[in-house]
Amino acid sequence: MKARKRSANRAAPAHRIAGRHRGPAEPGPGLDSTLAALQLDAGALFAVGGLLGIGVVMSYSSTAPLALDRILPPLFVEHLGALMLGLLAASVAMLTPLRLLRALALPAWAFAVCLLIANDLFGVEVNGAQRWLPVPGIGIRFQPVEIAKLATLLAVCAVVARNPGRRELSGRRGAAAVAIVAIPVALLVRQPDFGNAVLLATLATLVLVAAGTPIRRLLLPALVSLCAIVGYIATHEYAMRRVIGFLDPWKDPLGVGFQLVQSFVAFGKGGVFGVGLGSGRQKLSYLPEGHTDFILALIAEELGLLGVLLVLGCFAALWVAGTRIARQSKDRFALLIALAMTALLTLPAAINAAVVMGLLPTKGLTLPFLSHGGTSLVMSCAVLGILLSAGRQATAPAARGARGGRR
């Protein structure tokens, strides 16, 4: 009997200890902050992941006919290499504090302007435009415009964010931002790269509006810009040919309207479900630049309307995620950066889709994350990394508060 009582007494503490742990296990101290970060950025990550996956598949499908004697087409290998470099750039940008990006914004802008000047002096002309700058001794070349767009927007955000305690952007800072944008825009027009020049000016205008610039201040510059666009088109034959091909591509289907007509053919063949992955025929030298600017037309042919909607849905999800990050940002610079980076990824996509569908004249803009082009892919990934960095900063205070509450 005594032995039985002693064993019961010895078992009691163990029973009480087990009772205390009968409830569900609580998450570790870092789990809440991790889930919060994933909730904030999951939309951007999944959207871009989908775009990158579709881009890899369509890159192989669109470039395989260009190298039938190779298992892996050289252009596809280049795309994979650019993707690996882009993922590295995204990781570095995501881990870079925004305060460091803010400090480097103006030096990066000056470097980008120097690249555009070097491109004007030593650039390689392709298809009538001098947009490629070779790297001596390496045998590679890149497009400085992709770096210039990112650096210019960073500089504009850094300048207009220094407006504490005021809802309306001061005229002095607005003028400084306009000067920062005007220099690369002028250099882009000289290449000529009119599409990217207009895109950069539009993106900078969005940042100025978000920073508090009154709309009335933008009316006169907008009117002057519109007159400049009309004058440029009227005095440059290549721009006029693009407008004519857009207005009536069927009038000259073998000339100025050829590319757009072939894009229409791709959409018509694809229907709702597409002809099947790899089974498209427009990539067999029928659709010019099918693997670059008109990759969406090839997606329409092989994956149909559903494939196009999937791509556009991913960009829409990226826009929603980016604007959510901007709304939740506690810092003015972080808010402007999140908005600028989101627009830099989604606005070119909307323009590219409109061009491919015949809703806008040809601009020469790539489809981010999908079009073949190493510079565009790497810089798009870097832009995504900066957007994620803004999201990390937005969630940091909440994560610290959650940890403090558990203590």
Q: What is the pLDDT of residue 216?
A: 85
pLDDT score for 267: 96
> Residue 141 corresponds to which tokens in the numbers above?
């070349």
Q: Is 292 helix (H, G, I), strand (E, B) or coil?
A: coil
pTM of this structure: 0.86
pLDDT confidence of residue 206: 94
Please list the pLDDT of the chain residue by residue as tens digits (407 residues): 444 444 444 544 444 444 444 444 444 444 345 545 444 468 899 999 999 999 999 999 999 998 888 889 999 999 999 999 999 999 999 989 999 999 999 999 999 999 999 999 988 887 777 888 998 888 788 999 999 999 999 999 999 987 655 566 777 888 899 999 999 999 999 888 899 999 999 999 999 999 888 888 888 888 988 999 999 999 888 889 889 889 999 988 888 899 999 999 999 999 999 999 988 999 988 888 888 999 999 999 999 999 999 999 999 999 999 999 999 888 889 999 999 999 999 999 999 999 999 999 988 889 999 999 899 999 999 999 999 999 888 766 544 444 444 44
Helix, strand, coil percentages, rounded to 5, for the chain: 75, 5, 25
Residue 321, pLDDT score: 94
Nearest CA among 183, 184, 193 for reference residue 130: 193
Tell me how far apart the alpha carbons of residues 114 and 147 are, in angstroms, rounded to a whole number: 11
Closest by Cα among 393, 290, 362, 391 to 45: 391
Do residues 342 and 319 lie in contact, with contact meaning Cβ atoms separated by under 8 Å? yes
Give the pLDDT confidence score for residue 395 in this predicted structure: 66
pLDDT on residue 335: 93
Q: Which amino acid is at 340?
A: A
Residues 34-49: b if buried by 16+ CB within 10 A, e if exposed = eebbeebbebbeebbe
Contact 392, 93 (CB under 8 A): no
At residue 37, the pLDDT reads: 44
**Predicted local confidence at residue 159, as pLDDT:** 93
Q: Which residues are bridge partners to 4 per DSSP?
A: none
The DSSP H or E segment spanning 261 is helix 258-270
What are the beta bridge partners of residue 124?
132
pLDDT of 17: 41
Please check whether residue 160 is in contact with residue 174, taking contact to mean a CB–CB distance below 8 angstroms. yes
Provide φ and ψ at 141, rounded to 5°: -140, 155
pLDDT value of residue 18: 41
CB of 331 closer than 8 Å to CB of 98? yes
